[in-house]
Structure 1
Amino acid sequence: MSLIPIILCGGAGSRLWPVSRESHPKPFIRLSDGQSLLQKAFLRAAALPGVEQILTVTNRDLFFKAEDEFREVNKDGIATSFICEPFGRNTAAAIAAAVEHVSQVHGPDATLLVLAADHLIADQAAFATAVEKAVELAQSGKIVTFGVRPETPETGYGYIEAEGNNVLRFIEKPSLEKAREYLTSQQFLWNSGIFCFTARAMHREMQLHCPDILAAVSECLADSRVSEGKGWTQVQLEPKSFGAVPENSIDYAVMEKCQQAAVVPCSIGWSDIGSWAALSELCKPDGHGNRVEGEALLHDVDNCYLMSRDRVIGAVGVENLIVIDTPDALLIVNRERAQDVKYIYSELKARGHEAHKLHRTVHRPWGTYTVLEEGPRFKIKRIEVKPGASLSLQMHHHRSEHWIVVSGMAKVVNGDQELFVGTNESTYIPAGHKHRLENPGVVGLVMIEVQSGEYLGEDDIVRFEDVYGRA
C-alpha cells in the first residue's frame, strides 16, 4: 500500500503578524534553526516509511515559494506534486481535491496522511509509531484522526472525547473551566488536525456527508490544467469552477458526522504554534524568563520575548511583553494578549494597508525584490533574479525604470533591442516600452531598479508572455 502525505499549506497566519503576512503565511516562518515550518513538515513526511511522493495543496501564488522551500531540503529527490488553489475554500475542498487526484494517479486504495504545514512535532519516533497505527486503522476503512494527549488546560484547541481508538464526540474550543475538567478526566484529547484514510474511504464519507463539495471539486479537477517539471507535477485548479465549491472545514463537513471515525491517542510533542507566546516557548529563556532572537540590550526586564533580525532592541523596566521588529512593522503586545494580534492584522487589511499582505522583501517565481526607499514619484528596489530565471515580457503605462547591474549579467529586452548588461552597467526603460529581464548566467543577478513616474503601484503591469502562466 502506498502512503501519500498531503501537506495543507495556506492561511494568513494573522496571529503571527508582522512576520506572517498574506503572501508569506505562517508555514514559511523560519525558526531559529533556519528551517521553516513548511520544510519541517516536508522532512517529517519524507522520513516515514513507504512514502512514494508528497502532495501539497496550496494557493497558486505560493507554489513557487513552496517549491523553493522543498528544493532546499529535499536531498533525496523525493517526488513532489502540487494542487494549486486560486483562492481558499477551507480544508474540506482541499482534502476533496487531494482525494480525487490521488485516486486518479495512485488508485483508490492509496493511503493519505493529511498534515498541516504550520504545525510542529518534536518527537519524530513517536509520530512514526502513531502513523503506523493510523495506517492500520485506515486500511480497515476508518477515517482516522490523531488525538494529542493534553498537557495543559488549553482553550485554543478543539477536543476529542475518546475511548481507546473510538471517537465518542468532537468538542469545540472549551472554556478554561471545561478545559481543566477535560485534563483531569484523561478521556479527552486535543484535536490535532492530522488525518489518515484511504482515498476510497474518504470518497465514501464525502459522498455521504458533503456530496456537493465532492461533486464541485470533481468537476473543477476535470476543467483544470496539469503541468509537469523536473520531479514535480502541478494541478492548477480552474478558478471559475472552483468558485462554485462550497466552503467548509473537514471537521464540520465530515468528521463530526462520520460513523467510521477513529482516533490514535499520542504524545508527539505537537503544537500548532498559534501565537507569539507559543512560538516564544521554542527559545531558551535566561535567568529572568526573557527570550531573545537577534540582538537586544535588557535592563530590569522580566518574562519578555524580543525578536529582531536587523536592528538592536533596547528594553528597560518592562515585563510580560512580546516585541517583534521587522523592517517595515513593529509589534508590541502583552504576553497574555498574544492571541489578539489578529485584530491588528484585520484592521490593516480593512484599511488596505500593504503591511497585512507584503513584506518589504517580496518573493516572486523568478527571485525577490526589496523596496529600499520610496516617495512621491519614485521608488528604489533591490532585485535578485535566480540563475536561468526570467521576468515576464511586460510593459508599464505610468512609470519609467533605470536598471543598474550590481553583480552578474542581465539579458534585457528593451523595445526592439536585445542587449546584455554587465556589472557596473545600466539601461533605461521608458514608459510604454515592452521589456524583459533575464539572468542567463549560473550565479544570481543583483541589480538596483529606480522607478519614476506618476503612478508606481505593482498593478501597473501588462504581461505579454510569462513562463509562469501569469500572462
Structure 2
Amino acid sequence: MRTKIIPVIMAGGKGTRLWPLSRATAPKQFIEFVGDRTLFQATLARVSDPAIYDAPIIITNDDFRFLAAEQARGIGIALSAILLEPIARNTAAAVAAAAAFVAQKFGDDTLILVLASDHDIVADADYTDAILTAQKTAASGKLVTFGITPSEPATGYGYIEIGDKLSTGACTVKRFIEKPAQPAAEKMLSTGGFVWNSGIFMFKAAQVLQELALYAPDVELAAKQAVAQAASDLDFIRLNVDAFATSPDISIDYALMEKTSNAAVVPASFIWSDMGSWDAVWKLGARDAAGNVTSGNATLINTQNSLVMSRHGHLAVQGLEGVAVIASEDAIYVGRLDESQNVGKLVKQLAADKSTASLTETHPTSYRPWGGYTSILNGDRFQVKRLFVTPGKKLSLQKHHHRSEHWICVKGSAEVTIGDQVKTLGENQSVYIPQGEVHRLANPGKILLEVIEVQTGSYLGEDDIIRIVDEFGRE
C-alpha cells in the first residue's frame, strides 16, 4: 500500500452565499477575502508537505478549469490531475469519480483525503495530528470523517454523535444529525459528545467504491464508467458526460456515510469554517480594537464588531455595530452579521428579476487561461475593459464580425499581431484593430501586462469571437 495520501480537492461549487464578491461564475473558493491567497490556494498549501502527501487531484468543471490550474501554478503547487465534471452531480459522484481515477492510476489501497476547496482551516499541530490519526484509521479499513469540536451552538452545520474510541485514536460514529434548530444545538453543546460535521473524509480508494456499490450502486457504476471512458484534453481529464449523467444527484453523506456501519470520526480541535456567510469571514478575520475586520479602502467611525470590505471605491461607515458592508465593482451589500446566513434568499430574489439577475451570475472581473479582464464602462455601442495578461501567455489568434478595438498599453510590454504584421507596444503606446481583422495580444515580458481596451461596434458580446488558433484548445 502507498504510504502517502493523495488529496482530492473539490473545486466545482458555484455558491453565492458570499455575494456580491462570490458569483456563479466567480465562486468563493477562487477569491481572496482576507490575505494574499484564495481559499483554493490555501487548501492546496495545507496539503503540500511531501512527507505526508502526494500531488493533489482537483475535481472541478469546465468553467473553472483554467482558473484552478493557474492558481495552483501561481503558488508553485504541482498537480497529479485535474478531473472535469461534465455536469453537476453533487459530492457523491465527485468523490466516486476521484476514487475510481486514483484506484486505476495509483492502486486500490491508495488513501485519498477529500477536501472542499472553500473551507478556511488553521493548519496547526492539531490539524496535522488529526490527519495522521485519520491516516492510520483509514489504512485499517475505516471510512473516516473529521469532526470539529463545537465552539458555539451553530445551526448552520450538521453534527456527528461520537461513539466508542478505536485503537487508532479515532472513534466510531453513533449517528449523523442534520442541521439542528437552536434548542437542539444548545443541548448537544451542553451535553457533550457531539462534533460538527466538517465534510472532510479519508479512505482507501477501492474501499469507498466497494461500499458505494452496496449503498449507492448507481453512483459507483456511473463514476467507474465515466473514468473508464474519460478523454484527455490538454492538461485536463474530461469525465464521460453520458456515463456521469446517470449518477444520482446526492451528497456523499446521504449516499454512504450515514448508511455504512464502517464509518469512523476523528474528533479535532483545529480552527475550521466552511466560510458559508459573512459572519464566518468576520469571525476568522484579524479584528481591530473595536472588533472590526476591514479589507480594501475603508474608513470607520464609531463602528464596532463589523466587517467592511471594498473592491471598488472608498467605504465610509459611521455609527453602526454588527454589520457587513461589502462592495464589489458593481454592487454593494449591507446587512446585519447575525442575519448573513440569509444572503442566499436575497440572491434568489435578485436572480428572479431580469434587471438584477446578471449581478448574481457574472462578475466584472473574469478570469481566462491567459489572465483575464475587468469591465470598466459599458455604453451604447461601446465598452471599456482592463485586460491583464500573465507573463509568457497570449490570447487566441482571433477576429470579430461586429466590433473594432483600440488597445492602450499601460503596464509592461505587449506583442500585438494584426493581420500579417507583428509589433511591440510599450507603456503609453496604442494600436487600432479594425473590425474583421485577424489579431492577437501576447505578453512577452516578465511582469504582468495591462492593457486598456476600448471596443466599439453594433454588438459587443463575448460570443463574437472567431478563434483561429488557440493554445488552450478553445473553439
What is the TM-score of this pair, normalised by structure 1?
0.92
Task: Identify the residue that residue 296 of structure 1 maps to in structure 2.
Answer: 298
**Greater shift after overlay, 16-25 or 104-113?**
16-25
Task: Identify the residue that residue 106 of structure 2 maps to in structure 1.
Answer: 106
Asked if 2 retains the 8 angstrom alpha-carbon contact of 1:89 and 1:247, the reply is yes
- Which of 362, 377, 399 is equivalent to 2:403? 399
Asked if 2 retains the 8 angstrom alpha-carbon contact of 1:385 and 1:445, the reply is yes
User: Partners of 2:206 and 2:372 in 1: how far apart?
Assistant: 42
Task: Identify the residue that residue 364 of structure 1 maps to in structure 2.
Answer: 368
Q: Which amino acid is 1:332 matched to?
A: V
- Which of 201, 212, 217 is equivalent to 2:207? 201
Task: Identify the residue that residue 34 of structure 1 maps to in structure 2.
Answer: 36
User: Partners of 1:85 and 1:40 in 2: how far apart?
Assistant: 22
Q: Map residues 374-453 of structure 1 onto 2, 5 A cutoff.
A: 374-415=378-419, 417-423=420-426, 424-453=428-457
User: Partners of 1:78 and 1:137 in 2: how far apart?
Assistant: 27
Which deviations, in whole Å up to 9, do the C-alpha atoms of 1:58-99 show, x marking residues without a partner?
12221222222222323xx54442112233221111111110
User: Partners of 1:282 and 1:263 in 2: how far apart?
Assistant: 25
Q: Which amino acid is 1:159 matched to?
A: Y
Which deviations, in whole Å up to 9, do the C-alpha atoms of 1:387-421 show, x marking residues without a partner?
22121233322222222333444344434x23224
- Which of 263, 266, 276 is equivalent to 1:264? 266
Asked if 2 retains the 8 angstrom alpha-carbon contact of 1:52 and 1:78, the reply is no
User: Partners of 1:112 and 1:291 in 2: how far apart?
Assistant: 36
Q: 2:404 aligns to what SS in structure 1?
A: strand
Asked if 2 retains the 8 angstrom alpha-carbon contact of 1:48 and 1:128, the reply is no
Deviation of 1:153 (Å): 0.7
Task: Identify the residue that residue 282 of structure 2 maps to in structure 1.
Answer: 280
User: Partners of 1:313 and 1:446 in 2: how far apart?
Assistant: 26
- Which of 457, 461, 464 is equivalent to 1:457? 461
Deviation of 1:152 (Å): 1.0
Deviation of 1:370 (Å): 1.6
Gaps of 5+ in 1: none
User: Partners of 1:33 and 1:407 in 2: how far apart?
Assistant: 24
Q: 1:272 to 1:107 in 2, by over 3 A?
A: same
User: Partners of 1:112 and 1:10 in 2: how far apart?
Assistant: 18
Q: 1:53 aligns to what SS in structure 2?
A: coil
User: Partners of 1:350 and 1:223 in 2: how far apart?
Assistant: 38
Task: Identify the residue that residue 190 of structure 1 maps to in structure 2.
Answer: 196
Asked if 1 retains the 8 angstrom alpha-carbon contact of 2:8 and 2:56, the reply is yes
- Which of 50, 54, 57 is equivalent to 1:55? 57
Q: 1:350 to 1:225 in 2, by over 3 A?
A: farther
Gaps of 5+ in 2: 165-170
Deviation of 1:328 (Å): 1.2
Asked if 2 retains the 8 angstrom alpha-carbon contact of 1:407 and 1:422, the reply is no
**Greater shift after overlay, 338-347 or 152-161?**
338-347
Which deviations, in whole Å up to 9, do the C-alpha atoms of 1:297-345 show, x marking residues without a partner?
3333333221124432222332222101122111101122101111232
Deviation of 1:140 (Å): 1.8
Q: 1:169 aligns to what SS in structure 2?
A: strand
Q: 1:441 to 1:414 in 2, by over 3 A?
A: same
Asked if 2 retains the 8 angstrom alpha-carbon contact of 1:405 and 1:421, the reply is no
Deviation of 1:425 (Å): 4.0
Asked if 2 retains the 8 angstrom alpha-carbon contact of 1:120 and 1:270, the reply is yes
Pair 1:318 & 2:335 matched: no
Asked if 1 retains the 8 angstrom alpha-carbon contact of 2:282 and 2:306, the reply is no
Q: 1:458 to 1:57 in 2, by over 3 A?
A: same
User: How many matched pairs?
Assistant: 464
Task: Identify the residue that residue 125 of structure 1 maps to in structure 2.
Answer: 125
Q: Which amino acid is 1:108 matched to?
A: D
Q: 2:156 aligns to what SS in structure 1?
A: coil
Q: Map residues 153-172 of structure 1 onto 2, 5 A cutoff.
A: 153-164=153-164, 165-172=171-178
* Identity rate, percent: 43
User: Partners of 2:416 and 2:292 in 1: how far apart?
Assistant: 51
Deviation of 1:246 (Å): 2.3
Asked if 1 retains the 8 angstrom alpha-carbon contact of 2:399 and 2:438, the reply is yes
The CA RMSD over aligned residues, in Å, is 2.1
Asked if 2 retains the 8 angstrom alpha-carbon contact of 1:46 and 1:78, the reply is no
**Greater shift after overlay, 322-331 or 303-312?**
303-312
Asked if 2 retains the 8 angstrom alpha-carbon contact of 1:23 and 1:357, the reply is yes
Deviation of 1:223 (Å): 2.8
User: Partners of 1:158 and 1:366 in 2: how far apart?
Assistant: 40
**Greater shift after overlay, 190-199 or 376-385?**
376-385
Asked if 2 retains the 8 angstrom alpha-carbon contact of 1:147 and 1:263, the reply is yes
